[in-house]
Structure 1
Amino acid sequence: MQDALFDLPATPPEQAVIARFQLGGEDLGEPDQWSLVFEAERSIEATVAAAGVGEVDGNEFGGGEVVIFAYGPDADALYRVMEPGLRALPFRPAHVVLRYGEPDDDVMSKRIVL
């Protein structure tokens, strides 16, 4: 006999906030741009940890852009906490993708222009 009415996954699917910023200069951007990204990332990471909404998982430089990755159980809550720090970065064009589940072809997502 089952104790639950529904078969729910043991852990909820991980959701994501993926922020992309266009950099100037060469493929990896310029050192002063890296400093701004690292400073903003540390600040966002502390804010996310304090709010208990997930974790900032790092960044990736290449192709003339930087991507910042964060994961948690609720992409909307995670983005609300991250938004001020992301908008403070001066690099444009920029956008954020909120992914509502594991990375699949059919997972729901939302794109927000910064």
Structure 2
Amino acid sequence: MQDALFDLPEIPPEHAVIARFHLGGGDLGESDQWALVFEAERSMTAAVEAADVGEVDGNEFGGGEVVIFAYGPDAKALYRVMEPGLRALPFRPAHVVLRYGEPADDVVRERIDL
């Protein structure tokens, strides 16, 4: 009999899709901008869950921008599912960073301008 402690499966590194959009108005943008972001986020969450490629983890407003965070095992697959929703948001300039691994690791990052 083997010791189960040493038979634990290796957990794959978590990839990320981090989208940044410039907002007008003020530090936190404006309420009509929030509504568009929340609707896009709901739509992307449903698409990501249906495709089973990860999770949309939320957003952060501040500094005149909004950042949307999503995580999963394959950043490219996650981005492909989210791309229509990200491109539908009208705020520019905007870009997405695909991170292929944990943030503490020295990992490849790919920037995509929207």
Q: TM-score, normalised by structure 1?
A: 0.91
Structure 1, unpaired ranges of 5+: 1-8
Question: What amino acid does structure 2 have at the position aligned with 1:73?
Answer: P
Deviating beyond 2 angstroms after TM superposition, the runs of 4 or more aligned structure 1 residues are: none
Correspondence 1:100 to 2:95: no
- Separation of aligned partners in 2, 1:95 and 1:104: 21
SS at match of 1:10: coil
Question: What amino acid does structure 2 have at the position aligned with 1:88?
Answer: A
- Separation of aligned partners in 1, 2:64 and 2:71: 24
Matching residue of 1:16: 16
- Separation of aligned partners in 2, 1:105 and 1:62: 26
Identical positions, percent: 83
- Separation of aligned partners in 2, 1:74 and 1:31: 33
Matching residue of 1:49: 49
Measured against aligned partners, the alpha-carbon deviations of 1:38-88 in whole angstroms (never above 9, x if no partner) come to 000000000000000000000000000000000000000000000000000
Matching residue of 1:27: 27
User: Once the 2 structures are TM-superposed, how far is the Cα of residue 10 of structure 1 from its aligned partner?
Assistant: 1.2
Measured against aligned partners, the alpha-carbon deviations of 1:92-113 in whole angstroms (never above 9, x if no partner) come to 0000000000002621100000
Matching residue of 2:68: 68
Q: TM-score, normalised by structure 2?
A: 0.91
Q: Which moved more, 1:61-70 or 1:103-112?
A: 103-112
User: Once the 2 structures are TM-superposed, how far is the Cα of residue 34 of structure 1 from its aligned partner?
Assistant: 0.2
Length, aligned pairs only: 107
- Separation of aligned partners in 1, 2:14 and 2:107: 11
Structure 2, unpaired ranges of 5+: 1-8
